[in-house]
Structure 1
């Protein structure tokens, strides 16, 4: 067995086609395809330069073909940069070498020009010295005549022209050299930054897949792994048109960020709400025992003893291989761009178009869907807290898209209104969006009137009457509005405290009849699940409505009532 020849096949992970990217809230799952021509016997497929963002034990391999997968292992080893450079890093490294070569050539040119200038200056110095101090050796003669002067004139002219030309060339080369130094430094910094973003220095991670094939065959391997430093979150643009026929359009986006050291170019993208980081253990209940309270015994003085402290427990990270998160998605109606699949514990959005999400810290927006609904515009106010009147658009999510909790930009008649948040909204569920304060609607919260009286001869009781006047004015002369006033009505927590709402005549809250798919607010008064009054009235343009809220609290005389607001 030891003498068996093992066929090796090497792939760069970045050269393998990405079949799918599934993005979670805190990670991503990548599926790449490797096509390999296997030989008969044992084969090893080496997938080189896996990202350092790889989650431990997340790597798994599925295959198609006449072969059997025996083992999948991860390996880290020292490596030279030629083995692990990404195309971006390799390109920057090549640019740096070119810049350094250019700078070296300019330095050599400048050195040659400097030496020529030095030699010329030395020559003119020697000639000048020979004229002033002619040689005195025997047999030598020096005559400063017309011929000598003519030769000197030509030499000085040659020196002047040549020296000026050399110094001009030196200055030009110096300027080019300074620019080359700047470009070289920039290329060096760009390379260092790319190296820091692309991999761990000096190490290469790879996957080794061992297969057994009975004969030569072509096989396809799905290499699936998870990476951290990737996430997505929902985002919305909400546009409301308050024309003759109100319209509300929600553009539903997914904002994706990834710093996984990989570039996702034109990949099938899936956004999922699954959270693989959360455990699924049901909490355990102990036995709740009831006994009479007894004061604890007084503490007994103990001699001071120093003991070693032991800390129990350990932090063990459980690692699990993740199963594929996506299957074929059903067709859906025209309001959505992404295909939607509802799993037992999550929702998945299959983005309709191929997406490119480059490595880096910035967000990239993809469209999940566009939902068009006809809203009802309702004014709401909580005058005990704030006398401002807020315009709210209420509508039903008539799409197959589940809206997730996320930030939203609200536009009213093409004008930006505010930033807000959308809560989780299931398909078919009613939701509302605040459009800001309507200054044309005025609310006056009058001081409350309170009355107190005692009744009964033997069991005396106290009765407190609370009367609150709220005045609402519609300053618009032609447009009637529907306005909902929300106000406290106390809820009793003791059978001895009896509370009765005298005005208005409100429909009590019925938990069995409560339905998230109910119609939008209608005229009338009702109590909600928190026992708060919601009183909806239609107010014509230019009119004032005085609303009186009145309730009675009855309790034993000797008791004192306190009111606490809980959320």
Structure 2
């Protein structure tokens, strides 16, 4: 609408609009905790000042977020928002009064009919041989049957009429019990519009409402027989709204950003240290045990405890409680949708209808075909099962919000998993359950004991552990990781040495010795050790392939792993051997 200075205006005209019936929602932008609604109103104005009163807006409408836009030869002057009282719920109606009157008449007629039947029965039972001639008995019985039949038919008719009237009364009472105005839609907006001439104009109301949210969830389908894009990820949205107004056939946009207002960079307060001082209490130099000097020391300790408690209370008040008196941030109605690296916008295809019922309504956003690196992991010392993991790369332009996922492998439901927040080009891990076709046997450990030395004898323990892997699949399994460990010495009299595989610690490369439990100083350009122990099998310290791996810390926890490639219907054996030396031999070792 134009913003030029309006001419002198004529007396005010009033235009009454009901929001639900006189407008249409032309857009909904749904965030994680609120929605922004755009409603379009079309109406005719007269020349001069027009007062447009729009009723039936939702009670939860945030007044500070309301803004008005328009088209046409008119100027918007002012906008005010108010809340009307709920309409009185009627308890009666002319239809109900007529039904109640009809019911009373029908009920009385039924009572009279039942009384007539009772009187007829009483008359018949009162007849005796002394008062009734036998020749007249047939006529009396015929009159009884005829009269009784008429009364029975009338009773049945009146009973049915009464049943139908009662049903109509129930329906009418249910109808009039519903208020004409939805009690959740009692907000009114008054808009001053100055028109330069008669004609049609359009006004759009844009406002924010809470009680509307959407959450992401996924179906992840894995085709184990496909190497190219084996992951099919179906991105879904669960939408819930209880705003009071129904969203019927609306274009819906889902926003991944979370609106925040007035959020600034936090400031660090001053952090001071001082000496704790005690005033009024000191120990007398000549005080003997049990004297007042000892009592002063007891009071001194009590005072110290109180001072520490007060100090902790002040720390709590200054560190975490200073925001308690601040006003909570309010949504100011700013509608900024970022489409860069910080957030994404999803437009749900077509038009959708979401009633204000507080129930979740599910929609599919998009279906993606993604690449994934499949791997298997087992810790046979604890559990011999092989767990499948997919390292999925989000190669799409969509930002994946955190949510739950139903995982299907080769068409069968496997498990439920959690998908973290994933930006485009970022990767995440998705566990795919247990693979029963990979069978792992963790054989019993073999232990040998020997002694060495002449004067200072030492006890040498050699342990051998064998692990067998059988791939019953018809295809080769790559990147099968088997994790195991050797013990860590906590005493200088006990030395632990890894014999097979012959992995060395980064600290050994710096001549610090195997038994050192402290990390060596950081060195530059240290390459983690990887040993080829068999065809398709490499051994390494556990953690080498982690993205946040610190080379200097590898092996300090004495955990190692083998990364294997096992051919179809093939078996491989892994060997782990370590040596424990106790000096002197009489040392009792705990934990073996």
Could you tell me how far apart the structure 2 residues matched to 1:176 and 1:97 are? 18
Whether the 8 Å contact between 1:380 and 1:485 is mirrored in structure 2 is: yes
Question: Which of the numbers 383, 404, 408 marks the counterpart of 1:411?
Answer: 408
CA 1:209 to 1:161, structure 2 compared with 1: closer, same or farther past 3 Å?
same
Whether the 8 Å contact between 1:239 and 1:411 is mirrored in structure 2 is: yes
Could you tell me how far apart the structure 2 residues matched to 1:254 and 1:169 are? 58
Any idea what the Cα deviations from partners look like across 1:475-502, whole Å, max 9, x if unmatched? Answer: 41643212124568999xxxxxxx9998
Shift of 1:125: 6.4
User: Counterpart in 2 of 1:280?
Assistant: 263
Any idea what the Cα deviations from partners look like across 1:38-95, whole Å, max 9, x if unmatched? Answer: 222222211111112223422221222232222221111224369xx9xxxxxxx99x
Question: Which of the numbers 180, 202, 218 marks the counterpart of 1:236?
Answer: 218
User: Counterpart in 1 of 2:557?
Assistant: none
Whether the 8 Å contact between 2:83 and 2:186 is mirrored in structure 1 is: yes
Could you tell me how far apart the structure 1 residues matched to 2:379 and 2:94 are? 69
Whether the 8 Å contact between 1:466 and 1:551 is mirrored in structure 2 is: yes
Could you tell me how far apart the structure 1 residues matched to 2:485 and 2:182 are? 59
Question: Which of the numbers 12, 19, 22 marks the counterpart of 1:13?
Answer: 19
Any idea what the Cα deviations from partners look like across 1:514-562, whole Å, max 9, x if unmatched? Answer: xxxxxxxx9855352154666532122421231549899xxxxxxxxxx
Q: Does the residue aligned with 1:432 lie in a helix, a strand or coil? A: strand
Question: Which of the numbers 59, 62, 70 marks the counterpart of 2:69?
Answer: 62
Could you tell me how far apart the structure 1 residues matched to 2:97 and 2:497 are? 88
CA 1:97 to 1:272, structure 2 compared with 1: closer, same or farther past 3 Å?
farther
User: Counterpart in 2 of 1:565?
Assistant: none
User: Counterpart in 1 of 2:476?
Assistant: 480
After superposition, the CA RMSD in angstroms is 5.2
User: Counterpart in 2 of 1:516?
Assistant: none
User: Counterpart in 1 of 2:200?
Assistant: 218
Alignment of 1:155-554 (within 5 A): 155-173=143-161, 176=164, 184=171, 188=174, 198-200=182-184, 204-243=186-225, 245=227, 247-276=230-259, 280-287=263-270, 297=278, 298=300, 314-326=325-337, 342-343=339-340, 345-383=342-380, 386-443=383-440, 471-476=467-472, 478-482=474-478, 483-485=480-482, 503-504=502-503, 525=540, 526-528=544-546, 529-531=548-550, 535-540=562-567, 541-546=569-574, 548=576
CA 1:74 to 1:244, structure 2 compared with 1: closer, same or farther past 3 Å?
closer
CA 1:386 to 1:13, structure 2 compared with 1: closer, same or farther past 3 Å?
farther
CA 1:74 to 1:365, structure 2 compared with 1: closer, same or farther past 3 Å?
same
CA 1:383 to 1:195, structure 2 compared with 1: closer, same or farther past 3 Å?
farther
Runs ≥4 in structure 1, deviation > 6 angstroms? 96-104, 123-129, 143-151, 194-197, 299-302, 446-451, 464-468, 487-491, 499-502, 505-513, 549-552
CA 1:467 to 1:363, structure 2 compared with 1: closer, same or farther past 3 Å?
farther
Could you tell me how far apart the structure 1 residues matched to 2:349 and 2:524 are? 41
Could you tell me how far apart the structure 1 residues matched to 2:168 and 2:141 are? 40
Q: Does the residue aligned with 2:189 lie in a helix, a strand or coil? A: strand
Any idea what the Cα deviations from partners look like across 1:258-300, whole Å, max 9, x if unmatched? Answer: 11121111110011122225752211123556x7x86664478
Could you tell me how far apart the structure 2 residues matched to 1:438 and 1:214 are? 76
Whether the 8 Å contact between 2:52 and 2:190 is mirrored in structure 1 is: yes
Q: Does the residue aligned with 1:270 lie in a helix, a strand or coil? A: strand
Could you tell me how far apart the structure 1 residues matched to 2:143 and 2:301 are? 114
CA 1:315 to 1:153, structure 2 compared with 1: closer, same or farther past 3 Å?
same
Question: Which of the numbers 31, 35, 60 marks the counterpart of 1:28?
Answer: 35
Whether the 8 Å contact between 2:238 and 2:362 is mirrored in structure 1 is: yes
Whether the 8 Å contact between 2:343 and 2:399 is mirrored in structure 1 is: no
Whether the 8 Å contact between 2:86 and 2:183 is mirrored in structure 1 is: no
CA 1:489 to 1:153, structure 2 compared with 1: closer, same or farther past 3 Å?
closer
TM-score (norm 2): 0.67
Could you tell me how far apart the structure 1 residues matched to 2:485 and 2:168 are? 75
Shift of 1:346: 2.7
Could you tell me how far apart the structure 2 residues matched to 1:504 and 1:363 are? 55
Q: Which runs of 5+ in 2 are unaligned?
A: 1-6, 279-299, 305-316, 450-459, 489-495, 508-521, 527-535, 555-559, 581-592
CA 1:22 to 1:145, structure 2 compared with 1: closer, same or farther past 3 Å?
same
Could you tell me how far apart the structure 2 residues matched to 1:527 and 1:218 are? 69
